[in-house]
Structure 1
Amino acid sequence: MFETLPFWVYPLGFLLMLGPLVVLHELGHYLVGRMFGVGAEAFSVGFGKEIAGFTDKRGTRWKLSALPLGGYVQFQGDMNPASQPNAEAPVRKGDFQAATLWQRALIVAAGPAANVLIAIGIFAAFFMIFGNPVAADPAEETVVAAFAEDSPAREAGVQLGDRIVAVEGEETRDFRDISQSIMLYPGRELDITIERDGSTFTVPVVADRVEVSDQFGNKTVIGRIGVQGNLGERVFEPVGPIAAIGMAWQECIETVDLMVTGISQIFTGERSVKELGGPITIAKVSGEQLSLGWLEFTSFAALISLNLAFINLLPIPALDGGHLAFYAVEAIRRKPASPRSQEWAFRTGMALVLALMLFVTVIDLAKLPFFGS
Structure 2
Amino acid sequence: MSLLLQSLLYPVMFVIVISIVIVIHELGHYWAGRYFGAAVESFSMGFGKSVYEKTDKNNTRWRLNWLPLGGFVNFVAEDGLIENGGDVESDGRNLPPEKQPKGRPFTDLSAGARIIVALAGPFANFILAIGIFAVIGMVLGDPVQRLSVHSVFEDSVAEEAGLQPGDIFVAVNGRAADRQKVILEEIKMSANDEVDIEVLRGAETVHITLTPRRETLQNELGITERTGYIGVELARQIVDRNHLNPVAAVGYGVSETFSTISSSVNMLGRIVTGRESLQQLSGPVGIASVAGNMARTTLEAEQVGLGTRLYMLLMSNLQLIAFISVAVGFFNLLPLPILDGGVVVINTYEAVTGKGLSEELLLKSKFVTLLFLAALAIFITLGDFEEAGLLEVFRGL
In 2: Cα distance, 1:153 partner to 1:364 partner: 29
Q: Offset of 1:202 from its aligned partner?
A: 5.8
Cα deviation, 1:10-40, whole Å, max 9, x if unaligned, reads 2211221122222221111111211221111
Q: Offset of 1:196 from its aligned partner?
A: 8.3
In structure 1, runs of 5+ residues without a counterpart are none
2:124 matched residue in structure 1? 114
In 2: Cα distance, 1:49 partner to 1:365 partner: 30
Give the number of equivalent residue pairs.
362
**Contact in 1 for aligned 2:221/2:294 (Cα 8 Å):** no
In 1: Cα distance, 2:79 partner to 2:104 partner: 15
Structure-to-structure mapping, 1:273-312, within 5 angstroms: 273-291=278-296, 292=298, 293-312=313-332
Identity, in percent, stands at: 34
Q: Offset of 1:187 from its aligned partner?
A: 3.5
Q: Offset of 1:148 from its aligned partner?
A: 3.6
1:82 matched residue in structure 2? 83
**Contact in 2 for aligned 1:69/1:279 (Cα 8 Å):** no
Q: Offset of 1:123 from its aligned partner?
A: 0.6
After TM superposition, the structure 1 stretch with the greater mean CA deviation from structure 2, 333-342 or 358-367, is 358-367
CA distance change for structure 1 residues 283 and 175 in 2, over 3 Å: closer, same or farther?
closer
CA distance change for structure 1 residues 254 and 342 in 2, over 3 Å: closer, same or farther?
same
**Contact in 1 for aligned 2:112/2:348 (Cα 8 Å):** no
**Contact in 1 for aligned 2:221/2:290 (Cα 8 Å):** no
Q: Offset of 1:361 from its aligned partner?
A: 3.5
Name the amino acid aligned to 1:103: A
2:369 matched residue in structure 1? 349
2:63 matched residue in structure 1? 63
Picking from 331, 338, 341, the partner of 2:351 is 331
Q: Offset of 1:302 from its aligned partner?
A: 0.9
1:315 matched residue in structure 2? 335
**Contact in 1 for aligned 2:200/2:206 (Cα 8 Å):** yes
1:32 matched residue in structure 2? 32
**Contact in 1 for aligned 2:15/2:69 (Cα 8 Å):** no
2:155 matched residue in structure 1? 150
Q: Offset of 1:312 from its aligned partner?
A: 1.1
Indicate the SS of the match to 1:186.
coil
In 2: Cα distance, 1:113 partner to 1:158 partner: 43
1:256 matched residue in structure 2? 261
Name the amino acid aligned to 1:295: M
In 1: Cα distance, 2:277 partner to 2:53 partner: 42
**Contact in 1 for aligned 2:283/2:377 (Cα 8 Å):** yes
Cα deviation, 1:268-320, whole Å, max 9, x if unaligned, reads 55444444332222223223333421111111111111111111111111111
Indicate the SS of the match to 1:337.
coil
Indicate the SS of the match to 1:217.
coil
Name the amino acid aligned to 2:185: Q
2:19 matched residue in structure 1? 19
In 2: Cα distance, 1:17 partner to 1:216 partner: 17
Q: Offset of 1:115 from its aligned partner?
A: 0.9
Say yes or no: does 1:171 pair with 2:169: no
- Superposition CA RMSD, Å: 3.6
CA distance change for structure 1 residues 71 and 360 in 2, over 3 Å: closer, same or farther?
farther
Compute the TM-score of the two structures, normalised by the length of structure 1: 0.81
CA distance change for structure 1 residues 351 and 73 in 2, over 3 Å: closer, same or farther?
farther
Compute the TM-score of the two structures, normalised by the length of structure 2: 0.77
Picking from 183, 205, 211, the partner of 1:206 is 211
In 1: Cα distance, 2:293 partner to 2:234 partner: 31
2:393 matched residue in structure 1? 370
